[in-house]
Chains A and B, each alone.
Chain A
């Protein structure tokens, strides 16, 4: 067993885990942070996406020990401390960017980093930017709109198109 410590959603955490424990299991099984999901365990689907030291990672393909001392953000840390939702969380609801909700935590966490990297992405840049995250329900069209909507809000410009 190895003691692994990190900051998750602003809180210092630590747990004794095997060195082979994956970050997704560390979060879900040891910390009860169940927002990030497991969809494939082969880093294809992106349901387990978290933000690790300012980068999107698929936490099913990172060992917990690799995240020792890191700063991790999951969907649970997206809202402000006063409970106000992040604009992306509002946008996904507003634009009907989710159905079963299973890909949503990973998708929003990825979109959060995408908008940090590129605050005003084109549609093609959004599509490429979320191409590591699979969704089986929405066909992505309203996810793209949700991200465009959130970008507009963040940039203080008007977003005109409504959800289809």
Chain B
């Protein structure tokens, strides 16, 4: 009988389920059985329930609040108003953007549904009943919903608390409703480029107000132990450690007595980064009552109060030569921040990374200026599945490039190709201050064009346009192209912090004696599948099967400090920390192996799951053997154990990119559309789990589809929010959602330990301009230049009507 053939390196590598394979998700075992553990699933003994009474007015002075009827309801334990919160100095709270925000209305209300009183009761039905019985007497004030009008000289003063403050957190305020101006780039050189420009365009491109709307709303349970002084907070937090530090800073509770736990989270998309009044009220209520207090917002509260996204009025100008070479970019943004500046950006970036507005193009000069303005709308300004303000400006430049191509009479793809940053220009210094790490835009664009047969599509479109003119069809065909460059992975400590804490991330890996692994991170999955993919990185790095690696996140008592999961930062930052921690373990294992095999470390080589002696592959120690040895047979002088921690401060951001193409047919008589084809090519560098990447692209494109084609939080002139239920706020069902085709190229990040760039948010960033460009492309042969989003059927019908197509 022959001796069994030992498994080859490739066979052993396959068993690890490491990077690059379509590993099935670990999380799904519990989720498919209804055994997820979300905040509202948690019940603590004696738990009370909180609910808000909210403002019916968008701007009004509060003359009186009568809580007596609410307090008289059996089961009501307490009612909090601003007066009670003033006793603990929490009527107002600091925002992540350096502003302050009312926790409960203090003297006036500034947006509809603003929190006025918090009722605590033994049952959620009783809390809701009692909240309805609170009586508030208002003196209505003039309402501002238009940020342009908010900046007029005689506009009503919204933030009376800021009276006389001519300087805000980000420099001078030039008007009583002004928050900040943020400018970047060389203004004089840019202005000069426009003076000399052979061709220029100038367009107001509005990215409307939307909301991330995860299926699970924001919620918390706060439990204060009066004996020990410990405050335990369960919550839907994308950044649990940041929440812990914020609570420590604004309360008298020391940080080690605060325990923040993010259990399973039902989607975040940026909604669950910030700190909201509900969290503060639940914590204060628990301290006051000595009982755990749960607060769960309903869908209308979610859509109308806890964070909006976008609402950017962008005026974009491009200068170019007649031959189609761009020579300058000038952008001004009027940013509607609502009643308080509660943007969740890194602290020094009041307009996020909007200076990525030069996109994928080699602009020799550029200038960007952003003015933030207060209005009577809900506060927020979160990064809805995008890095900070990146999707706004990606939309801006991708629309502006199409408009310029139209003016030049060039095909939008030819115009882009002519102006792309070339492969050999990386690392590329942009005119607005970024260093793009790597890219091959021409290759990605050409691959996309080949797959969809772009030339043939344009020929078909031309034939259809002629048929339309002859009256043979009422359908218009649009081809939308978008080529986006993201900037993610915030970020390097030299320029990124939140409340003074550098935006590193962290990992701790413990190898148990039997070769099983426990690993904890400062990131927090909300559906991204970290329990699956983080184990894949470790598996490849140290050669222990992913199935033997348990990943834990979300408990601030056990996880190393991290800045959380948003802005596609988990793979670029926490993913790097994981690789670096794994490499520390590998280095120690190598020393143990050298000791056991009685060779010099340098005589060993790593082979998938073992160290072997170079030139003698029969002499090896597997990682499993080394794990055991780490606890009983380490070299003299070495500490026993096999654990490592890494805090990773990234040297640079990462710059994922992609080419998206949308083919759409529009019925001019009804304004309805049909997405015939949607192709998404993403380059996110090294791919950890292709199945999860493609799932992320499907989901992000679906969100982008909703945003471009109908989703909107609208206010009427009285400040009434009109988009705050799922009856009004467009979330596509399986019927409307197009079919997604995914594709990829791989351009690794040169500075990331495993070359990964992050992907979760690219599809939201890239798809919105592809849809909008398709709608615009359909109408442009009739003289239309820019149509404002969202492109729902009624608006599109109106466009057709204005163009005289219904005559």
Contact = CB atoms under 8 A, between A and B. Distances in A.
- To the question of whether A and B form a pair in one complex, the answer is yes
Interface of A: 18, 20-21, 25, 28, 32-42, 44-45, 47, 74-76, 78-79, 85, 89-90, 92-94, 96, 98-105, 108, 126-128, 130-144, 163-164
B554 interface: no
6 contacts: A104-B32, A131-B733, A137-B267, A139-B737, A140-B733, A164-B740
A136 B731 contact: yes
B86 interface: no
Contacts of A141: 698, 737, 739-740
Contact of A102 (B267, B698, B701): B267
B61 interface: no
A130 B735 CA distance: 8
Interface in B38-92: 38, 40-41, 43
A45 to B, nearest CB: 6
Does more than half of chain B's interface fall in helix, strand or loop, or is it mixed?
Answer: loop
Of the candidates B41, B701, B733, B735, the one having the most CB atoms from chain A within 10 angstroms of its own CB is: B733
B32 A41 contact: no
Interface string B237-281: 000000000000000000000000000111101000000000000
A141 B703 CA distance: 13
Q: State the 7 A-B residue pairs at the shortest beta-carbon distance, nearest first.
A: A35-B34, A100-B527, A102-B266, A101-B31, A139-B698, A75-B34, A139-B702
Contacts of B213: 136
Given A39-B216, A100-B214, A138 B695 contact: yes
Contacts of B726: 40, 42, 44-45, 134
Nearest to A146: B32
Contacts of B296: 38
Given A94-B24, A138-B698, A142-B695, A100 B33 contact: no
A28 B40 CA distance: 9
Contacts of A136: 213-215, 267, 269, 699, 703, 731
A133 B529 CA distance: 22
A18 B126 CA distance: 11
B33 A103 contact: no
Contacts of A163: 22, 691
A100 B695 contact: no
Interface-centre pick from B32, B266, B698, B700 (highest chain A CB count, 10 A)? B32
Given A93-B28, A136-B269, A101 B527 contact: yes
A47 B215 contact: yes
Interface string B6-27: 0000000000000000101101
A40 B729 CA distance: 12
A164 B703 contact: no
B526 interface: yes
A154 B394 CA distance: 46
Contact of A98 (B28, B43, B298, B733): B28
Contacts of B703: 136
Contact of A39 (B22, B215, B527, B742): B215
A80 to B, nearest CB: 12
Contacts of B737: 127, 139-141
B221 to A, nearest CB: 14
A103 B125 CA distance: 24
A27 to B, nearest CB: 11
A132 B733 CA distance: 7
